[in-house]
Every structure is written in structure tokens, then in C-alpha cells.
Structure 1
């Protein structure tokens, strides 16, 4: 039987499930291959335990007998994520990012846009980035994930008037921006649109709170529901948002 082998480098470790006594089934995110699942012999052993940590950068040699069968992976370390050195918020960021990728992205679809965003935020966790730096990047990543899933927001113009000026809200129904004048009478039913997403305002604590509420609304309503993995991901997000607000 013909065996196919490919090299994936770099890839991010985003999920691990025990398999038997010593092995794991890992899920890895890369730019060219997207989300990939693979069997790693000895993945729970002393040699690979430190390599197979969420958020780590690795290289994979994948061998598969057929597209229908789980590939076998040989894992090579590239860079360890050092979020552990920077406290609970950094660890929570790694946990959430890994679970977000694993719970939402389809397997086997290239992610040339999303991979750098995940990689950069995981790098921020490893470096102990401040909440004011993490928050805006996290909002942009979540909105990018929504867009990848066909659930993106339209920030180009006002849904009510067509103007491109003074956009201040998002309609939960149409996912389109609404300008301040048209939206003010209905503000209680609309979602605030922070200016930093349009390049017109600072990403201060209040704006980050609005941004996370915005992306979180659509993730919770349309994506992170039903499955156990989705619910675990949402729980991880809630913990992260609480820690970032401190």
C-alpha cells in the first residue's frame, strides 16, 4: 500500500486527547493545511510530553495510508510557549485560543489568514503581553474566525442610510454597521461598535470591553453552542475575559 508523507512547518498544538496507554491524538493548526488531526505514538511519554503542550510551535511529518484514515505524526519541537511564566491570564489566553481553533475551524482547509493571527496572539501570551495589547488583537481574531465561517460583519457602511461616516453600532440581525444618528433611538437593541475596529478610535479598556462583547455575542449565538467542545470553549473564553478585565 502506498504511503503519503508530508511535512508541515510550523504548526500550533491546539488539542490533545489520550489514546491508549502512551499515545495521543493531536490536533494542529497550520497555514497551508489548516486544522489537522494525527495519531502521535508516545505522545504521553516523557520525551514528547513537553513538546505536546497547547500553544507550542512544532513541525510535523505526517504519514497517511488514505485520506479516510487518521494520519500518523512524528512531532519535532520548534518553540515552547512560555505563558506559564506570566500568570493566569496568559495561560487562559493559550487555553482559549487552542480551544477556539479546535472547536470552530474545519479540518483540512488552509488558513493563510487566520494562522498568523493565532500565532501572534499565542506569541503575545508567551511574552506576557498586557491586556490592552491582547484585547484588540483578540477581538480582531474572533471577528476573523466569524468571517471565515461565513458569519462576518459588514463594517463598510450604515445599514439604514448608506453613509460611511460615524459608524457606531452593529445590528444583531443584519450584522451590518449603523451610524450614530440612525442608531441612537434604537441603541438598546444594537451592539456598540468600537472605533478601533474602524481605525478611528483608541483601544482603551472601555473600547476593548465593547469589542469583546460584540464578537462574543455572535460567537455565543451562532458558533459556540450545542457541542461539548463548543461549550468548553465558551467557558474558557469567559474565564479569559474576566482575567483580562482585572
Structure 2
């Protein structure tokens, strides 16, 4: 068995004295593990850092075997991430989310979203929006997607319901006016997370800090409820570090743009 693909490194573990067990998010084969011979050597180890893009060949005698990777670095940006804590924590958080996915299940949209985030690391407001969208997509892929097609209280379609709230228990949305009496029991739903109001990608990166905070609180709730707690795992510590850095960067940006 053999295939060729491109992938981003999600993590690496020691295997024996000199080899490495490498976890990749690949474009065509999903989250996939394989052995890299000599992966702990001075020559190979730098290419196997989280976030690096590789051209990869996977070989195994049978499809169900772990197999071996032969890798060639394409975009080795991990070293640059070390100098930018916000970017580093963003990439580490994305990698942690992708490790939640089933193995060998292709998810080209999530791969593309991972790539988009890596290209946006110099733009904190856009990074915040992309993280919220990415977490929504992960929740959807894992089978716990929010019901944002209509108002759960009135039955109105999303196009006319002005969805603004989400039930923390059911994940169903409610319109702004219909849900207002129960606002203290509901989670705010920022407009940019609604499919019919998400806007073109060229318009992303303009959301307010308050909307980004609401979006990331929403996704955290459902990741905790359906994934972290259900699997008995802790949230990635890098997510909190990412958020701390994000709020600091956005506060500085807001202060710089405020009228004097």
C-alpha cells in the first residue's frame, strides 16, 4: 500500500532510540499516523515540529497497518512561531482540536481552514474569527453541530428570524425577540456564525471584540459539553493562553484606533 499527500504536523512522539511516531493532518487522508525513521535525528527533527507542512509518502504492507512516512518539508514555519506566543498558541490549539477527529477520515474543509489560519497569524482580529469558525466546524464534524436553520421558538426560517441566541442544552437557536425573555438562560449567538449572515471570506476579520468573545465562549461551551467532558479530557491549555494573548492584542488595537 502506498499513497502521496500533503499534510501539517499535529504532533510527534518518541519511538525507540531514533525514530518518531508522527501525527499529521493530511489533505486527502485526514488525521493519519505513521513512523518516520530517524525522525529524532538533528537532520529530521526540525521538519517534524507542529505546524510544518510536509509532502509525505505513506507505505505499509496492509492498509490497516501503522505504516511509515517518508517526508519532505515544504513550509517549515514552526521556528518562526516560537517568537510569537499568540501564533504559537493558536497553532497548538488547532492541532489539539484536529486530534479529536477520527483517524483516516478525510476532512478537506478543515484542512483548508487550518491552512487559512496559518496565513492569518499576523492579523489577530481575523485569527479570532477563524478560530471560532474552526471550532464550530469541528463541533459539526464530530456530530454535535448547532441547529441554526430556524428559530426553535417560532419555527421561522433563519433568513427571517434574526437568530441571536442558542440554548446551552439543545444547541438550537432562537430569534432575537422570541428569545429575549429567556436571555439570561441562553448563550449569545454572534451574527457572523449564522450561515446565512456569515458574509464573504473577503469581509472576515472585522468583528467586534465583544462578538468574538461571545463566539469563542459559545464554541467552548459545546466543546466542553459534548467532547472534553464526554471523553474525560481536559481542554487544551494552549486555548486559554491563545485567548489571553488575543484579548491583549485586540485591546491594544482598539485603543490605537479610538478617537483621541
Residue 34 in structure 1 maps to residue 33 in structure 2: no
The answer as to whether partners of 1:81 and 1:123 remain within 8 angstroms in 2 is: no
Residue 108 in structure 1 maps to residue 98 in structure 2: no
Residue 209 in structure 1 maps to residue 213 in structure 2: yes
The answer as to whether partners of 1:51 and 1:77 remain within 8 angstroms in 2 is: yes
Give the aligned partner of residue 154 of structure 1.
147
Matches of 2:176 and 2:146 in 1, distance apart?
Answer: 17
| Greater alpha carbon shift after TM alignment, 156-165 vs 32-41 | 156-165
Relative to the length of structure 1, the TM-score reads 0.90
Matches of 1:195 and 1:100 in 2, distance apart?
Answer: 23
SS at match of 2:7: strand
Partner deviation per Cα, 1:13-55 (whole Å, 9 max, x = no partner): 0011111111110011112100110011111111111110100
Matches of 2:36 and 2:131 in 1, distance apart?
Answer: 30
SS at match of 2:74: strand
| Greater alpha carbon shift after TM alignment, 191-200 vs 203-212 | 191-200
SS at match of 1:239: helix
Partner of residue 43 from structure 1, selected from 24, 39, 44: 39
1:236 Cα deviation from its structure 2 partner = 1.9
Structure 2 regions of 5+ residues with no counterpart?
A: 200-205, 249-260
Give the aligned partner of residue 168 of structure 1.
164
1:174 Cα deviation from its structure 2 partner = 2.1
Matches of 1:166 and 1:225 in 2, distance apart?
Answer: 31
1:69 Cα deviation from its structure 2 partner = 2.1
1:227 Cα deviation from its structure 2 partner = 5.3
Matches of 2:98 and 2:185 in 1, distance apart?
Answer: 30
Structure 1 regions of 5+ residues with no counterpart?
A: none
Matches of 2:169 and 2:226 in 1, distance apart?
Answer: 12
The answer as to whether partners of 1:220 and 1:234 remain within 8 angstroms in 2 is: no
Give the aligned partner of residue 84 of structure 2.
87
Matches of 1:52 and 1:132 in 2, distance apart?
Answer: 29
SS at match of 1:36: strand
Partner deviation per Cα, 1:160-213 (whole Å, 9 max, x = no partner): 002232211011222111011121111111110011223379511000000000
Q: Alpha carbons of 1:200 and 1:107: their partners in 2 closer, same or farther (altered >3 Å)?
A: closer
The answer as to whether partners of 1:224 and 1:234 remain within 8 angstroms in 2 is: no
Residue 73 in structure 1 maps to residue 75 in structure 2: no
Matches of 1:93 and 1:158 in 2, distance apart?
Answer: 33
Give the aligned partner of residue 50 of structure 2.
54
Relative to the length of structure 2, the TM-score reads 0.85
Give the aligned partner of residue 189 of structure 1.
185
1:76 Cα deviation from its structure 2 partner = 0.6
The answer as to whether partners of 1:54 and 1:95 remain within 8 angstroms in 2 is: yes
1:6 Cα deviation from its structure 2 partner = 1.2
